[in-house]
Amino acid sequence: MKNLIIGAMMLPLATAASAQSADLSGYMEADDIKVVDAAGERIGEVETVLINASGMPAALVVEVDDGFLDLGDREVVVEMDALTWDNGQYTTAMTPEEMENLPVWDD
């Protein structure tokens, strides 16, 4: 009887262990994903994903390439609806002037 109880207690642990071995091959880290303009020219890269109150991605913090050797680079907030996902990178139709006027992220 004692072995039966111990076996029953171990069953949830085995289930939890198998749940942890889920296929993660479709996942990728968002940090450093390239962001390009409509012509395919590099604008910068993703630094952080910002979420809304529901926990859903709402905007990206993009480090904009403004300077030589990353000197003078700044981080701006780009709303998700201003971006499209294509071939492992984000594309925006925003002009350089629009990018210049985005809110700066200063964490």
CATH of domain 34-100: 2.30.30.240
Mean pLDDT of 31-49: 94
DSSP the chain: -HHHHHHHHHHHHHHHHHHTT---TT----TT-EEE-TTS-EEEEEEEEEE-TTS-EEEEEEEE--SGGGTT-EEEEEEGGG-EEETTEEE----HHHHHTSPBP--
Mean pLDDT of 68-93: 88
For residues 85 and 1, the model is more confident at 85
